[in-house]
Amino acid sequence: MKKYIAILIFVFLTILVAVNSVYATVKAPSVSVSYSNETAGSVDVTLTWDDYGSGVYHADWSDSMLSDGSGLDYNNIDSAITTATGKKTVTKTGLTKFKNYYFRVVHDDGSIQAVSEVRVFPVDTGNARKTNEYGHGNFNSNTAMCGYCHSNHASLKEQLIQQATYYQLCKLCHGTASTQSKYDVEGGRVTVAGGATVPSLAGPFVDGVTSKHDSDDSSPGWGPTVIPGSDPSKTLSLTCLSCHVSHGGTNDNYRLLRKNIYIDDARTESLKTINIDFEAYAITPTAVSGEQLYMVKGNTEFCSSCHLNYDDGNARETGRDSRLTTSEAVYRHPTTVGSSVYSIFGSDGSKDFSPSSWGLLPLQYNALEAKEGLTDKRTSVVCSTCHFAHGTTKQFNVESGENKYILRLDNYGTCQSCHKK
């Protein structure tokens, strides 16, 4: 009997080792990024990583989308070189500054578990920080970036954070007065080549804002607020970290948006929605152009984690509303997204994310066409079709006279952009 038990244990351990070996070959590697050979308009980008187990990996790059909008149009980079320390490295030369690039390191067997995705936004730094330009992840082992946010001995907030509030910390790189990032989140601007700026995709927090998500935890009036379109008992003390994570990792969500959303103060860990796969891409066709946004999935799921009523119901079917009695129901504009390209086209065919009144937003859902087997246009309308994520300078001064909807166009201009009544 002992002999059979020993054999069974041996077989089990053999299987366990084999499973671990297979797992090791498909583990996503940790990738760091460095910059070199910076010129007036270009820079070289080097990726470095460790192969796991007996796995062999290669690097791809992209700055554009597939024609159907379902993902990035990746192309292989030349074979990686093994360094003296055993790491793998590959360099993409001559990248244009201020453009958005995407890289991935993929196991040669194509296993999705072995993909590490990296975003690169080369800016015109002109100093040593170009080797550590992305402050949220993909660091080299000798990075100097940690000290920009943390201090071992003189921090003003828990987690050894340099500033007293999250909003102040984020402004160090993303404030209107900062030059540390091409993204001015506070002012809602993006820097392009030559130092010019264009409107961002998310809108501003300051400078003429008429409505916004109030994430400024350094403001005297900041505090818990009721969440529109949700259970009145649900409140949220909103900060930058309510929606974003600070440190990047393997297969991050678009814009470092959280996969797990919490209602009430995040420190209470009152989990509301988990595992949100928010996939989208900001493409810059040239160094001087603004960004074009391609939504693939997750926009509505992310927003409705807090505004939980707004993803239920459509123009022909009723949905729930936690603010009403159980006998009442409401119709809502459908909001979802699939594998269609999401972008705004101007009358001249150009793409514009701060459209004028004639801008053409994606078409609305037509239930009758869907029942007849025709195109279901729900994949083209999401929350950010009509609303900015951060704030707006647009006015909504009809009926209630309140500017509180973070709209992309004045009043009902967003509706007219599609429906033309």
pTM above 0.85, yes or no: no
Are 345 and 303 contacting, i.e. CB atoms less than 8 angstroms apart? no
Which fold, 28-141?
Immunoglobulin-like (2.60.40)
pLDDT of 178 reads 86
The string of DSSP letters for 336-404 reads: ---SS----B-TTS-B-SS--TT-BPPPPP-HHHHHTT---GGGG--HHHHB-SSEE-----STT----
The pLDDT of 285-295, averaged and rounded, is 83
Are 95 and 45 contacting, i.e. CB atoms less than 8 angstroms apart? yes
CA distance 262 to 242: 7
pLDDT in tens, 258-284: 998 876 544 444 556 778 888 888 888
Ranges of each domain in the chain: 28-141
Strand partners, 320: none
Are 85 and 105 contacting, i.e. CB atoms less than 8 angstroms apart? no
The torsion of the CA quartet 409, 211, 195, 182, rounded to 10 degrees, works out to -110
pLDDT of 263 reads 64
CA distance 416 to 414: 6
pLDDT of 215 reads 93
Best-predicted range by mean pLDDT (102-116, 172-186, 373-387): 172-186
- Residue 57 makes CB contacts below 8 A (sequence gap 6+) with 29, 49, 51, 80, 88, 105, 106, 107, 108, 114
Beta strands 197-199 and 271-273, pairing class: unpaired
Question: What DSSP state is assigned to residue 321?
Answer: -
CA distance 206 to 393: 9
pLDDT in tens, 364-406: 444 444 444 434 444 567 888 889 999 999 988 776 667 778 9
